[in-house]
């Protein structure tokens, strides 16, 4: 970057020196050609390219009370899941890779263990016994109601039936948690393995198992994150918390896209301090969908605690001289006057050339080649210096107050104002001499 700037400045100095030499070495038209009105800088196309000159207009920005902050990207608790096994088992198969996109209910891995078989056998056996107990219960109930059977026998059968029914429901629920079909188990279909499935849609962030290892019920096998509702989680220190409100805007940049400013809106403010940092968490939702943001990514920015949008320009568009500040604007009138002067000068040269055509020498021919080179420098544009009042600064921009109104659609130089001022001072010095 430094080498590019040095090359650009050398090019500008060279071009300006060439123009200066043309002023000193010429006694007629060329001296007038490069002179402009007071406070106006003339630049040809090559000079503008060397400075990488940019034209634009004012931008409205909020330059009021501001709170600096940083944090990281996060997802809501409901959008992050740690997947574990309901009952421990040995890993037989892993069906996803880290970074894979998965849907809710998709199989991530397969576990196997004898306990799965035992659980299904117990359920199938209890299901058969429950059918018998239900029939016996209905029979004893009918006898009891008709005063035929003894109440004690009815109560005993009722107790056994209710107990078996509760155990049946419990085993059935455990099979469903293991994603096994109770109906198939009752029909005699026993499986020695169970699937581990994703509880949410999202991406696989972590895989903590290997084929053949034993996964306990307390072990985290996979971590799944749904980034569709990712938000910014900032930390604000206690001396600035009183300035915060829901709905305020946060302007920030992320580590992987530092050149783009993102915006978010505060939707929640923490109600307790972190013990060490003495800061509260502030959550803000993104104002637009931004691809490439992932949880844990570092972010930094600022919160505008009130709104007062004002006219601004980039810092490089404003230059100071003494106690005054200036900007440069495209002077269309001076530019058009310059072009008319060049056309008149060209007509005069052509007329003079016709009068001396018969006596043209090799030296004059070389002079015409020099005129062609001047034309290759491109169109000359005039930039007029305008005094302004510079105000607050923020993130590379400065508030600008005009002393006199500018015409609508005025084109303003957005950079290199310092070099334009330097060239203007150089021209004024040469004119004095």
Digit-coded pLDDT (tens) for 45-98: 888 888 899 999 998 887 666 788 999 999 998 999 999 998 999 999 999 999
Rounded CA separation 299/276 (Å)? 20
Matching fold, domains 2-61+311-432 and 84-225? no
DSSP E strands, 238-380? 249-254, 257-269, 279-286, 298-304, 309-314, 319-321, 324-330
Least confident segment among 90-94, 351-355, 363-367: 363-367
Average pLDDT over every residue of 174-195 = 92
Handedness of CA 360, 361, 365, 366 (dihedral sign): negative
Residue carrying structure tokens 């056994």: 160
Both tokens assigned to 389: 């009042």
**CB neighbour list of residue 135: distance below 8 Å, 6 or more residues apart:** none
Rounded CA separation 150/134 (Å)? 18
HSE, side-chain direction, 13 A CA sphere, residue 9: 10
Residue carrying structure tokens 């972010």: 299
Residue 193 in this model has a pLDDT that exceeds 60: yes
Residue closest to 90 by CA, chosen among 213, 220, 216, 219: 213
Residue closest to 10 by CA, chosen among 55, 43, 47: 47
Residue 27 in this model has a pLDDT that exceeds 50: no
HSE, side-chain direction, 13 A CA sphere, residue 412: 24
**CB neighbour list of residue 23: distance below 8 Å, 6 or more residues apart:** 30, 31, 34, 35, 430
Residue 335 in this model has a pLDDT that exceeds 80: no
Q: Higher model confidence: residue 250 or residue 13?
A: 250
Q: Is 381 exposed, middle or buried (0-12, 13-18, 19+ CB in 10 A)?
A: buried
HSE, side-chain direction, 13 A CA sphere, residue 188: 0
DSSP 109-170: EEEE-HHHHHHHHHHHHHHHHHHHHHHHHHHHHHHHHTT-S-HHHHHHHHHHHHHHHHHHHH
Both tokens assigned to 278: 């003495």
Rounded CA separation 320/388 (Å)? 10
Digit-coded pLDDT (tens) for 268-317: 999 888 778 789 999 999 999 888 888 999 999 988 776 667 889 999 99
Q: Which CATH number fits domain 66-77+227-309: 2.40.110.10, 2.40.30.170, 3.30.70.20, 1.10.600.10?
A: 2.40.30.170
Both tokens assigned to 57: 């207009």
Rounded CA separation 103/82 (Å)? 15
- Report DSSP state, residue 391: E
Q: Where are the domains of the chain?
A: 2-61+311-432, 66-77+227-309, 84-225
**CB neighbour list of residue 377: distance below 8 Å, 6 or more residues apart:** 15, 44, 45, 46, 47
Residue 377 in this model has a pLDDT that exceeds 80: no
Phi, psi of 157 (to 5 degrees): -65, -40
Enter the CATH code of domain 2-61+311-432: 2.40.420.20
Rounded CA separation 61/405 (Å)? 19
Residue 148 in this model has a pLDDT that exceeds 80: no
Residue 235 confidence class, pLDDT cut points 50, 70, 90: very high
Q: Are 216 and 85 in contact (CB under 8 A)?
A: yes
Q: What is the pLDDT of residue 211?
A: 94
Phi-psi region of 350 (alpha: psi -120 to 50; beta: other; left: phi over 0): alpha
Q: What is the pLDDT of residue 73?
A: 93
3-state secondary structure of 341: helix
Enter the CATH code of domain 84-225: 2.40.50.100
Residue carrying structure tokens 């894979």: 100
């Amino acid at each position: 970057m430094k080498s590019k700037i040095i090359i650009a400045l050398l090019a500008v100095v060279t071009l300006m020196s060439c123009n200066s030499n043309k002023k000193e070495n010429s006694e007629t038209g060329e001296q007038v050609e490069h002179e402009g009105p007071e406070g106006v800088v003339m630049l040809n196309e090559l000079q503008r390219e060397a400075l990488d000159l940019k034209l634009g207009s004012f931008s409205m920005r909020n330059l009021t009370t501001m709170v600096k902050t940083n944090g990281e990207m996060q997802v809501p608790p409901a959008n992050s899941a740690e997947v574990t096994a309901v009952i421990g088992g040995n890993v037989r198969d892993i069906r996803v890779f880290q970074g894979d996109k998965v849907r809710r209910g998709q199989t991530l891995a397969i576990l196997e263990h004898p306990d799965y078989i035992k659980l299904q056998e117990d359920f199938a056996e209890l299901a058969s016994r429950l059918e018998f107990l239900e029939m016996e219960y209905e029979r004893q109930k009918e006898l009891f109601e008709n005063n035929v059977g003894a109440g004690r026998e009815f109560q005993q059968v009722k107790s056994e039936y209710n107990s078996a029914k509760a155990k049946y429901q419990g085993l059935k629920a455990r099979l469903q948690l293991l994603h096994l079909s109770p109906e198939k188990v009752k029909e005699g279909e026993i499986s020695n393995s169970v699937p581990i499935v994703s509880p949410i849609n999202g991406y696989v962030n972590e895989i903590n198992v290997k084929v053949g290892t034993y996964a306990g019920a307390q072990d985290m096998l996979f971590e799944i994150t749904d980034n569709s509702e990712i938000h910014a989680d900032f930390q604000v220190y206690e001396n600035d918390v009183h300035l915060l409100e829901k709905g305020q805007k946060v302007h920030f940049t992320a580590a992987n896209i530092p050149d783009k400013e993102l915006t978010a809106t505060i939707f929640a403010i923490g109600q307790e301090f972190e013990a060490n940092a003495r800061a509260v968490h502030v959550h803000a939702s993104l104002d637009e969908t931004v691809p490439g943001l992932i949880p844990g990514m570092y972010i930094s920015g600022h919160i505008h605690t009130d709104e007062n949008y004002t006219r601004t320009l980039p810092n490089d568009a404003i230059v100071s001289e003494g106690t005054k500040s200036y900007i440069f604007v495209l002077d269309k009138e001076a530019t058009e006057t310059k072009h008319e002067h060049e056309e008149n000068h060209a007509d005069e040269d052509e007329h003079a050339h016709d009068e001396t055509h018969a006596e043209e020498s090799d030296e004059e021919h070389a002079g015409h080649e020099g005129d062609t080179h001047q034309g290759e420098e491109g169109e000359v544009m005039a930039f007029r210096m305008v005094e302004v009042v510079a105000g607050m600064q923020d993130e590379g921009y400065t508030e600008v107050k005009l002393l006199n109104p500018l015409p609508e659609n005025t084109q303003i130089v957005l950079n290199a104002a310092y070099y334009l001022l330097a060239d203007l001072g150089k021209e004024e010095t040469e004119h004095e001499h």
